[in-house]
Chain A
Amino acid sequence: MEQKKASKIAVRLDRRAILRLMTAMPAGALFSGTQRALGAPQEMAAKLASQEAAAPYRPKIFNPHEWKTVHVLCDLIIPADERSVSATTAGVPEFIDDWLDFKRGSLLSTIRGGLTWLDMECNRLFGSDFTASTASQRKQILDRVAYPKKAALEDASAVAFFNQFRDLVVNGFFTSEIGIRDLPYLGNEPQSEWQGCPTPVLTQLGLVSKSTDS
Chain B
Amino acid sequence: MPQLILSPDVYDAIIVGSGAGGGMAAYILAKAGAKSLMLEAGSWFDAARDSKWLEWGYDAPHRAAPTPEHPFDYFNATVGGWEVQGEPYTSAPGTEWMWFRSRMLGGRTNAWGRISLRNGPYDFKPYSRDGKGSDWPIGYGDLAPYYDKVEELIGVFGSCERLENCPDGKFLPPPTPRCYELLVQKACGNLGINCVPSRLAILTRPLNGRPACHYVAQCGRCCRLSSNFSSPAVLLIPAQATGNLEIRCDAMVREVLTDGDGRATGVSYIDKKTRQEVQVRGKVIVLAASACETARLLLNSRSRQFPTGLANSSGMVGKYVMDTVMSDVKGFLPSLMDLPPHNEDGVGGMHLYMPWWNYQKQLRHELPFSRGYHIEFGGGRRGMPGPELWSGSERFLGGGYGLELKQGCRKLYGAFVDFHGRGEMIPNKESYCEIDKEVVDQWGIPVLKFHFKWGEEEILMARHMQETFQEIVRTLRGEVIRSAGPEERWGISRGGECIHEIGGARMGDDQKTSVLNPYCQAWDCKNLFVADGAPFVSSADKNPTLTIMALAWRASEYIADQVRKKNL
Chain A interface residues (CB < 8 Å from chain B): 15, 18-19, 22-23, 27, 30-31, 38, 45, 76-79, 81, 95, 98-99, 102, 142, 146-149, 162-163, 166-167, 170-172, 174-177, 180, 182-192, 194-198, 200-202, 204-205, 207
A67 to B386, CA, bound (A): 25
In the complex, A95→B60 CA distance in Å?
A: 12
The 8 tightest CB contacts between A and B, nearest first, are A196-B176, A187-B345, A190-B214, A186-B343, A197-B179, A191-B215, A170-B390, A200-B340
A84 to B409 CA separation, bound complex (whole angstroms): 13
What A residues does B381 contact at CB under 8 A?
A: 185, 187
Of B178, B211, B413, the residue contacting A23 (CB under 8 A) is: B211
Residues from chain A with Cβ under 8 Å of B342 in the complex: 186, 197-198, 201
B473 to chain A, nearest CB (A): 16
How far is B182's CA from A137's CA once the two chains are assembled, in angstroms? 49
A142–B399 alpha-carbon span in the complex (Å):
11
Selected contact of A194 from candidates B175, B186, B392, B399, CB within 8 Å = B175
Q: Which of B57, B58, B341, B407 contacts A186 (CB 8 A)?
A: B341
Q: How many B residues have CB within 8 A of the partner chain?
A: 68
Question: Could you tell me the distance between the alpha carbons of A163 and B396 in the complex, rounded to whole angstroms?
Answer: 12
A185 in contact with B54 (CB, 8 Å): no
Report the minimal beta-carbon distance from A8 to chain B, rounded to whole angstroms.
Answer: 9
Chain A neighbourhood of B347, CB < 8 A: 194
- CA distance in complex: A32, B316 (Å): 57
Measured between alpha carbons, how far is A18 from B182 in the docked complex, in Å? 33
Report whether B401 and A171 are in contact in the complex, using a CB–CB cutoff of 8 Å.
Answer: no
Given known contacts A27-B212, A146-B400, A190-B214, A171 and B388 CB-to-CB distance under 8 angstroms: yes
Write out, one digit per residue, whether chain B residues 378-422 have a CB within 8 A of any chain A CB (1) or not (0).
Answer: 000111111111111110001111110111011001000000000
Cα A199 to Cα B390 in complex, Å, equals 27
Given A45-B59, A187-B217, A188-B56: A175 touches B340 (CB 8 Å cut-off): no
CB pair B399–A163 under 8 Å, yes or no, is yes
- Asked whether B344 lies within 8 Å of A174 as measured between CB atoms, the reply is no
A136 vs chain B, min Cβ distance (A) = 14
Q: Determine the distance from Cα of A15 to Cα of B53 in the docked complex, in whole angstroms.
A: 9
- The answer to whether B206 has its CB under 8 Å from any CB of chain A is yes
Q: Let me know if B224 is at the binding interface, CB within 8 A.
A: yes
Are A147 and B398 also in contact (CB < 8 A) when A98-B62, A197-B178 are? yes
Determine if B518 is an interface residue (Cβ-Cβ < 8 Å).
Answer: no
B-side contacts of A95, CB under 8 Å:
63
Task: Decide: A167 and B402 in contact? CB cutoff 8 A.
Answer: no
Q: Is the CB of A172 within 8 A of B387?
A: yes
B341 contacts A184, CB within 8 Å?
A: yes
Please state if B393 and A146 are interface contacts (CB–CB under 8 Å): no
Tell me whether B413 and A188 are in contact (CB under 8 A).
Answer: no
Contact pick for A171, options B53, B206, B391, B402, CB 8 Å: B391
12 A-B residue pairs with CB within 8 Å? A22-B214, A99-B63, A102-B61, A149-B398, A167-B393, A180-B57, A183-B410, A187-B344, A187-B345, A189-B343, A191-B215, A205-B179
The digit string for B215-241, where 1 denotes a CB below 8 A from any CB of A, is 111100000110000000000000000
**Docked CA distance A146–B398 (Å):** 9
Q: With the chains together, A201 CA to B341 CA distance in Å?
A: 8
From B58, B178, B382, give the contact of A176 (CB < 8 A): B58
Which residues of the partner chain A approach B346 to less than 8 Å between Cβ atoms?
194
Instruction: Verify if B65 is at the interface (C-beta below 8 Å from A).
Output: yes
Residues of B within 8 A of A30 (CB): 211
* Residue in B186, B211, B216, B402 whose CB lies within 8 Å of A22: B211
Interface string of B42-64 (1 = CB under 8 A from A): 00000010000110111101110
Query: B205 — nearest CB in chain A belongs to which residue?
Result: A27
Please determine whether A77 and B393 come into contact, CB atoms closer than 8 angstroms. Answer: no
| B190 proximal to A (CB < 8 A) | no
**Does B137 make an interface contact (CB < 8 A)?**
no
Does B367 lie at the interface of the complex (its beta carbon under 8 Å from any beta carbon of A)?
no
> A189-B216, A205-B335 provided; 9 other pairs, C-beta below 8 A?
A147-B399, A175-B385, A175-B386, A187-B344, A187-B382, A188-B345, A194-B176, A194-B213, A207-B183
A166/B399 contact (C-beta < 8 A), A95-B63, A180-B58, A186-B341 known: yes
B401 touches A76 (CB 8 A): yes
Q: Check B363 for interface membership: any CB of A closer than 8 A.
A: no
Task: Determine the chain A residues whose CB is within 8 A of the CB of B394 once the complex forms.
Answer: 148, 163, 166
B5 within 8 A of A: no
Q: Tell me if B402 and A79 are in contact (CB < 8 A).
A: yes
Closest B residue, CB atoms, query A206: B335
Q: How far is the CA of A142 from the CA of B211 in the complex (A)?
A: 54
Question: B409 contacts A174, CB within 8 Å?
Answer: yes
Most buried by A among B347, B385, B386: B385
A189 to B401, CA, bound (A): 32
Chain A positions within 8 Å of B410 at CB level: 182-183
Residue B339 CB within 8 A of the other chain: yes
Q: Is the CB–CB distance between B211 and A167 below 8 Å? A: no
Indicate whether B88 reaches chain A with its CB closer than 8 angstroms.
no
Expressed in whole angstroms, the Cα–Cα distance for A72 and B390 within the complex equals 21
Q: Do the beta carbons of B56 and A177 come within 8 Å of each other?
A: yes
Shortest distance between the CB of B75 and any CB in chain A (Å)? 11
Given A76-B401, A102-B62, A185-B385, does the pair A204, B339 have CB atoms closer than 8 Å? yes
Task: Give min CB distance, B407 to chain A, whole Å.
Answer: 8
Q: Is B177 an interface residue (CB 8 A)?
A: yes
- Residue in A146, A148, A149, A187 whose CB lies within 8 Å of B384: A187
| Nearest CB of chain A from residue B47's CB, rounded to whole Å | 11
Question: In the complex, what residues of A have CB within 8 A of residue B58's CB?
Answer: 175-177, 180
* CB under 8 Å from chain A, chain B span 348-395: 381-394
A210: shortest Cβ distance to chain B, in Å? Answer: 16
Q: Does B343 lie within 8 Å of A207, measured CB to CB?
A: no
Complex: chain A residue closest to B48, CB-CB: A19
Given contact pairs A148-B394, A198-B340, A23 touches B225 in the complex (Cβ within 8 A): yes
Q: With A174-B385, A180-B385 given, is the CB distance from A31 to B183 under 8 Å?
A: no
How far is it, in angstroms, between the C-alpha of A201 and the C-alpha of B179 when the chains are bound? 7
Scoring B179, B384, B398 by chain A CB atoms within 10 A of each residue's CB, the highest score goes to: B179
> A19 vs B57: C-alpha distance in the bound complex, in angstroms?
20
Shortest beta-carbon distance, A80 to chain B, in Å? 9
